[in-house]
Structure 1
């Protein structure tokens, strides 16, 4: 296993983050890089946000990680709770019948994004409905047969969060908090959290109104009180580096979490040429890297073969919603950096 980093890829990452800060793509950000043979390093640029004065982002700045919730909360909890991936969700959720359109969707299909559930989340459409949320989601007509193609669908992970609470008899945020405590991630948790210069604000939804700050940027997570299987988690680059190290060390040592990672980085379905979906994770075609993004401007990259990881934490939605294009150069460089030869 090779764990060393070349200086050049890290210098390219730093330069890109600084350029993105200078041209207004992000207020600032933090990149954590590391490996199993040492402590993490951190690259920083810019400020946390205008509301935070001159405060600069650092390893302990708290970011809304958005869809990293899927791989930092829901995915590890499913893998360590003993839930059978081949079992239909109606078996676990008493309000969902076997005859419901989504009743036969399996947990494995949720993780692989092959459920065929509606792609638009839109929980606001259920306001004033009295039925159970799981029954409402599974009661909608499917757009495809389960298991027949990749479509990124938040509804599946919302179901997974409801399922975890039902199976364990505990709230999702409580389950996740126990996991993060065991892994040594003291600054990671579901919101809401108090406003401070240590917490990165995100979007201003209405002109003249305060920005979202310490509450989820994702509307549907907010409608669920901030606790959901697809979004809602806040974390620091330091905690995500700790998490990445735990996953990679577990993969090397064969722990329960490591075996779950090994199972999850087996391709389940194609996303596009060169990319596959494992269980939750996006996989490069050569299988060397597993990663996931968050809409707010976050990313987590793992290279089990080399023991290296990268974490990107920004609040890119502070200025813009079209993040995929604006963040693409930084994310492309992150992939190059983590796969660079020693």
Structure 2
């Protein structure tokens, strides 16, 4: 951790490890920014970035699958009408989408549609809220309510690879919140809150933290020179999620380490937490299983998994730590977040940082392999104590 801070992998971070349902390690390091003014605290709230994918839309999709409202293997276009007559998308299944086996392209930068040079196009963005511009991307930036439909249209028009092979794509995650609303008949955030966040006691977990009266500090992310023109704080870092009003399936959730530990513990315990069942065991087992190993694809349904043959790799090549079990699962986030659960070893690992401060070009978190090395420390310690 000290090495990470010294080499500007991140200005500060925290690490929480739980073993057999008990927190055995929770420590903070460094500061919110390199000016060393605000120390990291254990109850700080972080922008989860892509960790959102397995804490937001995924549990809702799992619940709808369990209730028979979603089938993993019939065309996704059965549920998502815009794809019904698209030759390259009409037969893609939800299983393929969740396992990143669909051929969808990785990302579309929707910000390019909103910016003209250094300025926001008035057609899409205004400085005041109105009926036509209700979605707040950031204080003083309100997005046209029709922009969401433009996003869906651009996804529909995007190219699909002919070859079905592993290619990580965040595009379907932008669709899932509306799909969840359509199938459940409940607003997406209300559904998550009532089904999961509130009953689990995850009090900080949610979207739009700036709108809530938390006493906790929210850790800032990037000094944005292009879109927000200042240090992004209290609002989602990911521009695509921001343009959707901060509520998206690809990013937008914020939480403390403890709330994330609760959620991952529930997954690790195959759908049960504090004597309450959230999923059937077979549902969790279905989603955490590697789906297309024959294609060299390590992914579960929504969940990331260890590299195939990870236990044979040394620390530099492994992802995550080489000693994690093949049953283990989790996800990483662009802002410098990482969550992992290992049912075989009964270990939950939560790493939170703001590695995109002051700029997303800071990549030493990857170059130094910090998260993998930290995780391995606890597997080695476990081996020693056993």
Q: TM-score, normalised by structure 1?
A: 0.84
SS at match of 1:81: helix
CA distance in 1, matches of 2:243, 2:364: 28
Partner of 1:220: 240
Whether 1:230 and 2:250 are equivalent positions in the alignment is yes
How is 1:293-308 mapped onto 2 (pairs within 5 angstroms)?
293-308=332-347
Partner of 1:282: 304
CA distance in 2, matches of 1:103, 1:122: 24
Question: Alpha carbons of 1:144 and 1:79: their partners in 2 closer, same or farther (altered >3 Å)?
Answer: same
Q: Name which of 181, 185, 192 aligns with 1:176.
A: 192
Q: Name which of 179, 191, 200 aligns with 2:208.
A: 191
CA distance in 2, matches of 1:323, 1:290: 26
CA distance in 1, matches of 2:272, 2:183: 30
Partner of 2:118: none
Whether 1:246 and 2:262 are equivalent positions in the alignment is no
Partner of 2:48: 65
Partner of 2:83: 96
Partner of 1:11: none
List structure 1 segments (4+ residues) > 6 angstroms apart after TM superposition.
none
Partner of 1:6: none
Whether 1:317 and 2:356 are equivalent positions in the alignment is yes
**Deviation, structure 1 residue 137:** 1.5
CA distance in 1, matches of 2:344, 2:62: 21
SS at match of 2:183: helix
Partner of 1:332: 372
SS at match of 2:83: coil
Partner of 2:291: 268
CA distance in 2, matches of 1:270, 1:79: 21
Encode CA deviations 1:212-254: one digit per residue, 9 max, x unaligned. Answer: 1111111101111111111111111111111122222235898
Encode CA deviations 1:294-335: one digit per residue, 9 max, x unaligned. Answer: 000000011011111100110110134245542452221144
Contact preservation (8 Å) 1:79, 1:257:
no
CA distance in 1, matches of 2:185, 2:255: 25
Question: Alpha carbons of 1:197 and 1:243: their partners in 2 closer, same or farther (altered >3 Å)?
Answer: closer
How is 1:157-176 mapped onto 2 (pairs within 5 angstroms)?
157-176=173-192
SS at match of 1:32: strand
RMSD over aligned Cα atoms: 2.9
Whether 1:141 and 2:181 are equivalent positions in the alignment is no
Structure 1 stretch displaced more, 169-178 or 121-130: 121-130
Q: TM-score, normalised by structure 2?
A: 0.75
Partner of 2:14: 30
Structure 1 stretch displaced more, 32-41 or 211-220: 32-41
CA distance in 2, matches of 1:172, 1:271: 35
CA distance in 2, matches of 1:120, 1:271: 25
SS at match of 1:75: helix
**Deviation, structure 1 residue 126:** 5.7
Q: Which structure 2 residue ranges, 5 or more long, are not aligned?
A: 115-123, 125-145, 309-324
Whether 1:87 and 2:67 are equivalent positions in the alignment is no
**Deviation, structure 1 residue 21:** 1.6
Contact preservation (8 Å) 1:103, 1:138:
no
